[in-house]
């Protein structure tokens, strides 16, 4: 059957999706798909893609937090051999959360996660084959990336190009935040030359936070992070080899691509696809975050033609935060972000060239992907040549739904509504969207979903009521420049407590939140004076506690 575009008429997206978890209760992950990829209109699955692997947190009530995975066929069907529990990625006893996953070869996926331990939290990884089995040589419970005591958060991963993977995370083993990295081979072993407890990045005693990692296309990786220098943070980058050494010509402390007297925070990275790095960060000017981009060469220098201060992505007032980044396939970049120039949160996008200029046709202030009057949050981005797909959480319907947009030449693509198309408006909450390529110029969208499954268009077994979840989604935004807000979910109105602790365990603030009842909540600590630093957020209910970290800047 020919699944190529058959017309250019706009067709609405199916407003439901397929459920990836057939269990009786929990937070469900959905994938949206339709039957045709229309060149001028919709986000879709063309039905000619390779089978993707989805994975996500699984918050089943009265169970520990687990990491699960699922496989979806080219027809959008869930593989029955994977559902529900053969998809379990670890046999450990602790809570599992904060995962990262990457494709690894033609038929495998590497997944890493943070797992609670008696001495803090550890980081583990596993490799899944296309049939859902763990790759030969990999431990059943995943390989430990570090056995050191203390807490680890925010694990990120990238391929080493040889069937293994490189990882980075934020580490509190020394009571101050540091960045560590690790490499695991295709056989599930720590690579030769790499410390068993991870490789310290940057060689500094200063605070290091929010690491990001991407392959250097030579078996090693670029690692980026924000590092305190005096009273401010600056973004640094280091290139490491497959053997765990600093790449030749690079200083062991890494480089600051664009030194500045302003705060530089929240770096995101991607490959420029010719051996270098594209990086975007927030530059904080008088309390407002502005997005800056740079291109770094394999030799550790700012690419020729780029402004020494980096490229400003939007000449506009308001906050520009939570950037998402992809390559355009020509050593340039595509960026989406959360933007408050109009007062509330909107979604904007920008494209820049390999030479450090805004791409032709794109406005200097950025292009609006959605400026609908309600709040939009948490953008996800997928590059499609010089075009891009965006998906986000949207509150226009009174609860959280997932919307998407396709942008081309600085405007919504032909046939796409100015404020995006709803991927689902069914009951419950839909949030945390992700996008992946469908192999035919379209995109697959997944998200977490709390709707009731029985009687829905999905037509799979499910509960007769809204699933109940207990989850800590983390701070918004992160890092926090002013007020700190925390997103979480409760299954009922039982007593629950949200606490803010410093890294020594001292309580800074505490709020009783059980009275908010079942559902997803966003609670602020705006009335509490919070000095700049690293904090632990803890949500406790019924003898169970979930934790994550937060960074606060002033």
C-alpha–C-alpha distance, residues 126 and 137, integer Å: 10
pLDDT at 397: 85
User: Omega before 477 cis (within 30°)?
Assistant: yes
pLDDT at 151: 83
Q: 153-162, 251-260, 265-274, 522-531: lowest mean pLDDT where?
A: 522-531
Question: 322 and 214 in one domain?
Answer: yes
Cβ neighbourhood burial of 340 (10 Å; 0-12, 13-18, 19+): middle
Mean pLDDT of 289-308: 97
Within a domain: residue 493?
yes
Within a domain: residue 245?
yes
pLDDT at 31: 40
C-alpha–C-alpha distance, residues 245 and 201, integer Å: 10
Question: 482 and 382 in one domain?
Answer: no
pLDDT tier at 24 (50, 70, 90 boundaries)?
Answer: very low
pLDDT tier at 548 (50, 70, 90 boundaries)?
Answer: confident
Structural domain count of the chain: 2
Q: 10-19, 312-321, 469-478: lowest mean pLDDT where?
A: 10-19
Residues 155-213 pLDDT 10s = 999 999 999 999 999 998 887 889 999 999 999 999 999 999 999 999 888 999 999 99
Within a domain: residue 464?
no
Mean pLDDT of 284-305: 95
**Which residues partner with 548 through β-bridges?**
537
DSSP code per residue over 189-233: SBPTTS-TT-EEPS--SS-EEEEEEEE-SSS-EEEEEEEEETTEE
Within a domain: residue 74?
no
C-alpha–C-alpha distance, residues 349 and 320, integer Å: 10
pLDDT averaged over every residue in the chain: 79
pLDDT at 23: 38
**Beta-strand (E) ranges in 41-119?**
53-58, 66-71, 96-103, 108-117
Question: 114 and 231 in one domain?
Answer: yes
Mean pLDDT of 350-377: 96
pLDDT at 436 > cutoff 80: yes
pLDDT at 491 > cutoff 90: no
pLDDT at 44: 33
Question: 548 and 478 in one domain?
Answer: yes
pLDDT at 235 > cutoff 90: yes
Q: What is the pTM of this model?
A: 0.78
Within a domain: residue 8?
no
pLDDT at 50: 31
144: domain CATH number?
2.120.10
Indicate the Cα dihedral angle 144, 145, 147, 152, nearest 10°: -110
Residues 89-114 pLDDT 10s = 554 444 445 557 777 666 788 888 88
Contacts of 529 (CB under 8 A, 6+ apart): none
**Which residues partner with 351 through β-bridges?**
334
Q: 59-63, 159-163, 271-275, 519-523: lowest mean pLDDT where?
A: 59-63
pLDDT at 378 > cutoff 80: yes
Q: Range of 262's domain?
A: 86-328+348-389+403-422
pLDDT tier at 250 (50, 70, 90 boundaries)?
Answer: very high
The CA-atom distances, in angstroms, between 332 and each of 269, 293, 506 are 12, 10, 45
Residues 405-433 pLDDT 10s = 999 999 999 999 999 999 877 777 788 88
Tokens of 398: 């009174």
Question: 479 and 363 in one domain?
Answer: no
pLDDT at 94: 47
Within a domain: residue 435?
no
Question: 247 and 141 in one domain?
Answer: yes
Comparison of pLDDT for 7 and 191, the residue scoring more: 191
484: domain CATH number?
2.60.40.3080
Within a domain: residue 146?
yes
Q: 56-60, 65-69, 173-177, 268-272: lowest mean pLDDT where?
A: 56-60
Question: 523 and 411 in one domain?
Answer: no
Question: 494 and 368 in one domain?
Answer: no
Question: 147 and 263 in one domain?
Answer: yes
Residue 514 phi, psi dihedral angles, 5° rounding: -60, -30
pLDDT at 340 > cutoff 90: yes
pLDDT at 523 > cutoff 90: no
C-alpha–C-alpha distance, residues 78 and 72, integer Å: 5
**Tokens 């268009």 sit at which residue?**
457
pLDDT at 99: 59
pLDDT at 392: 94
pLDDT at 503 > cutoff 80: no
Residues 453-487 pLDDT 10s = 443 333 222 233 344 678 887 787 666 765 688 88
Question: 478 and 411 in one domain?
Answer: no
Question: 355 and 259 in one domain?
Answer: yes
pLDDT at 42: 31
Within a domain: residue 247?
yes
Residues 128-150 pLDDT 10s = 887 778 888 999 889 999 989 88
Sheet holding 471-476, edge to edge: 471-476, 485-490, 519-524
Question: 250 and 150 in one domain?
Answer: yes
Q: Would you say how long the chain is, in residues?
A: 554
pLDDT at 55: 40
């Amino acid at each position: 059957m020919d699944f190529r575009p058959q017309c250019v008429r706009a067709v609405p997206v199916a407003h439901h999706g397929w459920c990836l978890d057939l269990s009786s209760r929990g937070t469900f992950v959905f994938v949206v798909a339709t039957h045709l990829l229309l060149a001028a209109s919709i986000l879709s699955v063309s039905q000619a893609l390779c089978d993707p692997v989805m994975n996500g947190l699984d918050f089943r009530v009265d169970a520990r937090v687990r990491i699960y995975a699922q496989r979806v066929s080219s027809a959008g069907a869930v593989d029955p051999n994977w559902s529900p529990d053969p998809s379990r990625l670890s046999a450990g006893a602790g809570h599992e959360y904060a995962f990262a996953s990457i494709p690894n070869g033609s038929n495998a996926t590497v997944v890493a996660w943070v797992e609670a331990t008696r001495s803090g939290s550890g980081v583990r990884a596993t490799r899944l084959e296309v049939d859902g089995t763990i790759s030969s040589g990999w431990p059943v419970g995943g390989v430990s990336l570090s056995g050191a005591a203390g807490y680890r958060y925010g694990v990120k991963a990238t391929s080493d190009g040889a069937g293994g993977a490189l990882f980075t995370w934020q580490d509190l083993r020394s009571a101050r935040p540091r960045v560590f990295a690790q490499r695991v081979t295709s056989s599930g072993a720590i690579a030769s030359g790499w410390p068993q407890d991870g490789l310290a990045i940057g060689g500094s005693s200063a605070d290091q936070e929010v690491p990001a990692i991407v392959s250097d296309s030579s078996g090693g990786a670029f690692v980026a992070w924000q590092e305190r220098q005096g009273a401010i943070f600056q973004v640094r980058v280091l290139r490491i080899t497959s053997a765990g050494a600093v790449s030749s010509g690079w200083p062991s402390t890494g480089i600051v691509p664009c030194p500045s007297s302003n705060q530089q925070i929240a770096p995101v990275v991607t490959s420029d696809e010719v051996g270098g790095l594209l990086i975007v960060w927030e530059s904080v000017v008088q309390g407002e975050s502005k997005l800056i981009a740079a291109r770094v060469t394999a030799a550790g220098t700012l690419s020729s033609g780029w402004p020494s201060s980096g490229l400003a992505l939007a000449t506009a007032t308001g906050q520009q935060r939570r950037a998402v980044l992809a390559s355009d396939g020509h050593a340039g970049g595509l960026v989406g972000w959360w933007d408050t120039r109009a007062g509330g949160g909107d979604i904007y996008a920008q494209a820049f060239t390999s030479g450090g200029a805004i791409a032709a046709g794109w406005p200097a202030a950025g292009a609006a992907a959605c400026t609908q009057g309600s709040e939009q949050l948490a953008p996800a981005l997928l590059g499609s040549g010089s075009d891009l797909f965006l998906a986000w959480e949207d509150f226009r319907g009174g609860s959280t739904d997932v919307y998407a947009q396709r942008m081309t030449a600085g405007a919504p693509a032909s046939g796409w509504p100015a404020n995006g198309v709803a991927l689902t408006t069914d009951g419950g909450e839909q949030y945390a969207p992700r996008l992946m390529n469908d192999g035919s110029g379209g995109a697959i969208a997944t998200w977490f979903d709390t709707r009731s499954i029985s009687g829905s268009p999905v037509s799979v077994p499910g509960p007769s009521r809204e699933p109940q979840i207990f989850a800590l989604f983390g701070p918004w935004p992160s890092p926090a420049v002013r007020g700190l807000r925390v997103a979480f979910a409760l299954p009922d109105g039982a007593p629950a407590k949200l606490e803010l602790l410093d890294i020594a365990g001292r309580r800074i603030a505490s709020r009783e939140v059980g009275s908010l009842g079942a559902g997803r909540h966003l609670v602020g600590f705006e009335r509490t004076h919070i000095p700049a630093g690293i904090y632990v957020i803890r949500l406790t209910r019924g003898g169970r506690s979930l934790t994550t970290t937060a960074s606060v800047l002033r």
